[in-house]
Amino acid sequence: MKIHGYDNSRKLEYKVDDKHLTIYEIDSDGKRFERYYIEKNRCISIDDQLDWVLHMSEKNWINGYDFKKEFIKALKQWNLVNTENRKGKVNNGTI
């Protein structure tokens, strides 16, 4: 079934290691195959990170919210998240 362009019939699994976030799709027979592969070194800057979230939100085979949650977990594991600046605080000079 599709909800807002997203095909929620697909079962996805996320795996994070020291250098990669891999997204697997599980087929109806239970076979797992690699659907997407994101390298840590392509997620270093805030711009890179936002680009990934925007890029993946355009896909109709993935739930953007679920991806965002798993991506944040990966960024935390890779020590690429500055939580002080991500709790709704606004730095001086920002709008």
In 10 A of CB 6, how many CB atoms? Answer: 18
Residues 15 and 23: their CA atoms lie apart, in Å, by 7
Amino acid present at 7: D
- pLDDT tens-digit profile of 11-53? 999 999 999 999 999 988 999 999 999 999 999 999 999 999 9
pLDDT score recorded for residue 81 = 84
Closest CA to 42 of 19, 62, 58: 19
Q: What is the DSSP annotation of 48-94?
A: HHHHHHHHHHT-SSS-HHHHHHHHHHHHHHTT---GGGSSS---TT-
pTM of the entire predicted model? 0.75
**Where does the pLDDT of residue 95 fall: very low under 50, low under 70, confident under 90, or very high at 90 and above?**
very low
